[in-house]
Structure 1
């Protein structure tokens, strides 16, 4: 029987974890290792300068589950050490979309990337939310049924046939208004999702403090064929094949000429 690992960056108590477990029932033995608390935007961060604490928790439908006081990448490493290799790793279902080259910031995508570096096929799946306040909550108000449908459909296919050569991870984004009849678009990553900036505010004592804020790229600049165009404009489920080798595909002689080496 297949072994499946589920993780996320929203925390062990996120409704998205429960939804993922439900979606994958019957496809294999399910194990869960997820952060104890919210770890969004943690990227490929690892905990190297202090010990990790793990707490065994009970989650219906899982063979075993642990909450880890670390990052999503830590969860993958811990799961490998505790349970061995997996036939499939699923990160999500995340509250809020993870698209564009900014997936390197995402804890959800980074957990799947970490799994891919260990040779395990992985899926990062995120559900678009229509209100900003929902992105960092537990998901109690969110309907995950359609995301569950697409996760099961894609996971079942990957377990049966594997991923194509040179594809190591799938990044999946589901529009909040999608139904089971919504089309799937196979996409490349958009250049970026947000234009980040710093907002200065003043605390009650008159001292400045700063928030990193971001404005989403306007629809009119989105390129057809990208994940953002599929979700934001076409309202399709986006599936982006990811290869973790980021080496630029150029003739090295061209680079040699530019650098005069």
Structure 2
């Protein structure tokens, strides 16, 4: 259903920092509001603060921090999600992940969120792929509003990255990772004064506390495959493949730790792209 106009609000006096105010946690993603990954995040942190759950109304993988235009841009609807057996109000927004976050912060949040959690994404985000990622794009948009952000991604087959019929997984161990880092950041602040923590979770790992702080690899993790000869006047979607050049990787890089050591990679990110 459409939300009423009176739900839109500017930050109120309730936003004043106090010892008894629960942190406001903005939860978002790029896979869409109905993704099991966003529900897993909500279940992991539901008791740690007040939740504002917003996400694109459909699958928006690999949108980066883009702001494409459409006829339905900015339409916001209430969606009921089941979080630990309880109906919880969430909001679907017509637009890219970053656009959804902007609407969430500017129109739906009664206070500036204390933390943004983006994910859990279907598919890892490593190396030079980061600028393509809608999961990171949503986190970046939140951080542009001075909100610290965590981006969570889990390893899945390449063929599952763009699906709207979401594959079924057990999310128990991933929820533990989300919980661990949310508690840590709310209590201690961001690692190394980072703007965003990019957290990639392999298929198998020992525990949420077994992780490595990494640097972004200067290599592609996925690469496009050269197309066969084809008719240029007909549509064609480039195919991609996972490509790991172990000998070229820094052992402290996100790709090496994740793909070679099979450990959770936590990469502190900042905005400075200059040399």
Q: Shorter-chain TM-score category?
A: 0.7 to 0.9
Residue 193 of structure 1: how far off its partner (Å): 1.2
1:160-179 alignment runs, 5 A limit: 160-164=187-191, 166-179=193-206
User: Could you tell me the TM-score, scaled by structure 1's length?
Assistant: 0.86
Q: For the Cα contact (< 8 Å) 1:56–1:65, is it kept in 2?
A: yes
Aligned to 2:240: 214
Gaps of 5+ in 1: 249-261
Aligned to 1:226: 253
Cα displacement string for residues 43-80 of structure 1 (whole angstroms, at most 9, x for unaligned residues): 11114565421111112348631111110001111111
Aligned to 1:133: 159
Cα displacement string for residues 129-150 of structure 1 (whole angstroms, at most 9, x for unaligned residues): 1x33322334442222111111
1:153-164 alignment runs, 5 A limit: 153-164=180-191
Aligned to 1:148: 175
Change (3 A) 1:49 1:141: closer
- Looking at structure 2, the residues matched to 179 and 166 of structure 1 have their Cα atoms a distance apart, in angstroms, of 27
Aligned to 1:8: 29
Q: For the Cα contact (< 8 Å) 1:117–1:244, is it kept in 2?
A: no
Q: For the Cα contact (< 8 Å) 1:126–1:174, is it kept in 2?
A: yes
Secondary structure of 1:119's counterpart equals coil
- Looking at structure 1, the residues matched to 80 and 234 of structure 2 have their Cα atoms a distance apart, in angstroms, of 44
Aligned to 1:256: none
Q: Which runs of 4+ in 1 moved over 6 A?
A: none
Number of aligned positions between the proteins: 245
1:55-70 alignment runs, 5 A limit: 55-61=77-83, 64-70=89-95
Residue 177 of structure 1: how far off its partner (Å): 1.4
RMSD (CA atoms): 2.1
- Looking at structure 1, the residues matched to 121 and 229 of structure 2 have their Cα atoms a distance apart, in angstroms, of 30
1:238 to 253, 265, 274: 265
Secondary structure of 1:86's counterpart equals coil
Residue 198 of structure 1: how far off its partner (Å): 4.3
Aligned to 1:76: 101
Change (3 A) 1:3 1:233: same
1:27-66 alignment runs, 5 A limit: 27-48=48-69, 50=71, 51-61=73-83, 64-66=89-91
- Looking at structure 2, the residues matched to 181 and 25 of structure 1 have their Cα atoms a distance apart, in angstroms, of 18
- Looking at structure 1, the residues matched to 45 and 208 of structure 2 have their Cα atoms a distance apart, in angstroms, of 20
- Looking at structure 1, the residues matched to 229 and 76 of structure 2 have their Cα atoms a distance apart, in angstroms, of 37
Gaps of 5+ in 2: 1-21
- Looking at structure 1, the residues matched to 208 and 26 of structure 2 have their Cα atoms a distance apart, in angstroms, of 27
Aligned to 2:217: 190
Aligned to 1:257: none
Residue 128 of structure 1: how far off its partner (Å): 0.5
User: Could you tell me the TM-score, scaled by structure 2's length?
Assistant: 0.82
Secondary structure of 1:10's counterpart equals coil
1:244-255 alignment runs, 5 A limit: 244-248=271-275
